[in-house]
Chain A
């Protein structure tokens, strides 16, 4: 099942097979600016993607993540800056010469072609011989588990199957860079999880440098080696999922990556003093003074004694429950706890901090 073939070199023309270990290209965006009718979609973006790495661009709608992806693909031109693939500036190279693979949010299979013909298309453009083409296409379809659907048309497949075919079509040429533009957002939850795991498996096996755009933080954290959180055309923070989760650079990142409770605290001698507890500070040292502590819901517990509060609501989330509590000082906090405990709205409860280290921000950065 592991793919060991290579159809393309730096330029998309070859019909050669190679058993060399798969390696992707480097992708670099340097001070890339792109504006649409006065609106700056990309505001001097810098991004380095290592060979074989999967980087997720994460952010809310309109933050510029899709524009960034489209500039890499060449579907959007850039106003200034440089885009380098394997060190070569491709800013002026047309899309069809960039040797990339791309999967779109909308099902983009060619409706007049069968699944097999769809997958063969990229090889046909590279003038691969018909027999070879068919062989490669079937191999790639086998990788995504759709060999038996090779003679079907797009409208005869489910959404998940269509995206699998789209993935196979993008991978069959062994592109230098794989670009995924919210490929899972049109799928239902279960298929989304299955397919994202499949994408990760294939990407790891083939070693293709991949940029994955998503607005779903869970998805980004699950599949990416590194995640770039974007807002208003800028990258707010880039790092491993663990880094982003544990040490968000600001409140926006903290809010967007996971859930954080913002609680007013005091920083004294490098330690966070919060509701009578002293907690270690995560990340870079900060000057003493008032701060906003970012406390994860799993770092707060319902308790028999501690900070008094009243339950606002409680939601069942499958393996855990999330309860919102209004503390006596008016702060509303979300608490993650076991499902067996089922607090009722209006119930008086006590909460306590578990003592885990927290991130903190100067109050001016919390907006």
Chain B
């Protein structure tokens, strides 16, 4: 179950990554003149290859994809109510979480959740402090390096986590000597693993706004570089930055391999451990992690749809 818990958020993240690039534009086009709906077509028009699918086809595709995602989730929920192998159902696994001695029983799990949240925060910090300014700088001042930066940021997605760990192990032997063996130091490795997702989210937003023109306009009005970044660019990159942050959080909360192989305790390694003695509780926490990932996805979707005027109001 721990493996399932670890894998599902990654699936969700992969879907988000594909979706974030397009809908991030903060600049909505001016209202277009009234024109026939692109969906409206003459009754006698023949169906052609590449045409927009019919309503029925859309619903069918949505239904199949929905089922692929929902069936495991429903099975997990059903599992949490099972009463052992007796075939009957009980709520005791859920109520047990709120029992008097749950804090003691699941202390390790709660500690792991805390570790994962700290890791998520530090990873997001790394993305915002290192990746974002670098991307803006490359976009504005060194556009020729854009391809190189993209290549570097995409590399982690092509390297299996196990290979990454082999390379990171000697590095972490130094990190432990310098910074100690605290779990938060894993964030350095996670900062690398989230690069492809964070890069895509931010780059999509950078491409959607005239960054150079806005920066130049602000500087002709008297703004220095930091003011341009903070006052002009960040508000317009808000969606990309938030999407990158949420995706990073989702990746960190679902990460298992690196933490396990570097002997650190995070949510996923703890879930695996708990699942060996209490699989129901492990699944309940896996569901909670999934729910959090879904909420983050919803927030990203909402951000993509919001216009400046609505945000203002």
Question: What is the interface of chain A, defined by CB distance below 8 A to chain B?
Answer: 12, 73, 75, 94-102, 104, 106, 108, 110-112, 114, 121-122, 125-126, 153-159, 166, 169-170, 173, 179
B125 sits at the interface (CB 8 A):
no
The majority secondary structure among interface residues of chain A is mixed
- Which chain A residue shows the least CB distance to B216? A75
B176 sits at the interface (CB 8 A):
no
- Most chain-B Cβ atoms within 10 A of its Cβ — which of A111, A157, A169? A111
Which residues from chain A contact B217 at a C-beta distance below 8 Å?
Answer: 102, 104, 108, 110, 166, 169
- Most chain-A Cβ atoms within 10 A of its Cβ — which of B30, B216, B217, B307? B217
Which residues from chain A contact B12 at a C-beta distance below 8 Å?
Answer: none
Contact between B221 and A108, CB atoms less than 8 A apart:
no
Q: Indicate which residue in A100, A153, A159 contacts B312 across the interface (CB closer than 8 Å).
A: A153
Contact between B219 and A153, CB atoms less than 8 A apart:
no
Which residues from chain B contact A159 at a C-beta distance below 8 Å?
Answer: 30
Return A346 CB to nearest CB of chain B, in Å. Answer: 41
Q: How far is the CA of A167 from the CA of B30 in the complex (A)?
A: 20
B55 sits at the interface (CB 8 A):
no
Q: How far is the CA of A179 from the CA of B219 in the complex (A)?
A: 13
Given A106-B210, A106-B213, decide whether A96 and B26 contact each other with a Cβ distance below 8 A.
Answer: no
Which residues from chain B contact A173 at a C-beta distance below 8 Å?
Answer: 221-222
B123 sits at the interface (CB 8 A):
no
Which residues from chain A contact B307 at a C-beta distance below 8 Å?
Answer: 155
Return B78 CB to nearest CB of chain A, in Å. Answer: 46
Which residues from chain B contact A154 at a C-beta distance below 8 Å?
Answer: 27
Which residues from chain B contact A156 at a C-beta distance below 8 Å?
Answer: 30, 309
Which residues from chain B contact A126 at a C-beta distance below 8 Å?
Answer: 222
Which residues from chain A contact B236 at a C-beta distance below 8 Å?
Answer: 110-112
Q: A104-B213, A112-B236 are in contact. List 18 more A-B contacts (CB 8 A).
A: A73-B220, A100-B220, A102-B220, A104-B216, A106-B213, A111-B236, A111-B308, A112-B308, A122-B222, A153-B312, A154-B27, A155-B28, A155-B308, A158-B30, A159-B30, A169-B217, A173-B221, A179-B220
Contact between B26 and A111, CB atoms less than 8 A apart:
yes
Which residues from chain A contact B221 at a C-beta distance below 8 Å?
Answer: 96, 101, 121-122, 125, 169-170, 173
Given A108-B210, A125-B227, A155-B307, decide whether A114 and B220 contact each other with a Cβ distance below 8 A.
Answer: no
